[in-house]
Amino acid sequence: MTNKNSRFDRWADLDKDILVRIFMTLNVVELICGASVSKSWREATSEPYLWEIVDLSKLEAKNFNRELGQSNQRVMDIVNSVFSLSGGTIFCLTFHFYAYITSQHLVCISERTRNLKRLVLPVWDNNILVNDFEEAAKNWPYLESLTISGFVGTAAIVIKHGDDSNCTSGDDNNSISIVVVTKAYLVECS
């Protein structure tokens, strides 16, 4: 039985379509928090459309300050919550400029975002080796665009498909390689 005097019961009973429209105006952390309000809100925050574009760049920088020892754990807590709610529907993932991503994080992210088409990474960390990036990139057969912010000087990331066609996940001959050429990276599927 619903208590008609409770504001929370009325909010929890809103139609899923209305909740989704409201949730479309929230940032990632607000959506994650909304998922814990009630079962109906959790269901609404799991709507795939809400997670096609995940933009962490709009979050406050204090969540990602490299000087804070727990910054990388905070990033992964947010990302893991996003993965849990998204159901694998992320097509575009943008990290905050100050987010700290390790090689291990990058591989974990790649394993959970196989449909990714666009990726914007924070400042390139020297601890992420080209080999680690190649390993992660193998999980992104649909990746069309990769941006790594904050290089000193100019950097270019080129994604090239062997015969100018899209790589398909069903093609076992697909391999992605990264060639470092004076602050430029070439990702090639062959």
As given in the structure block, the two tokens for residue 9 are 């019961």
* Cβ atoms of 137 and 110 closer than 8 Å: yes
Q: Where do the structural domains in the chain lie, given as residue ranges? A: 1-50, 52-189
What residue spans of 62-152 are helical by DSSP H? 71-86, 103-112, 130-137
- pLDDT score, position 175: 44
User: Along the 190 residues of the chain, how does pLDDT read in single tens digits?
Assistant: 455 555 555 776 788 899 999 999 999 999 999 999 889 899 999 999 999 999 998 887 766 665 545 667 778 888 899 999 998 899 999 988 878 777 888 888 999 999 999 998 886 655 566 777 788 888 999 988 888 776 554 344 545 444 444 433 344 444 444 434 334 444 444 4
Ordered DSSP codes for 28-49 = HHHHHHHTTT-HHHHHHHT-GG
Q: What SS3 class is residue 10?
A: helix
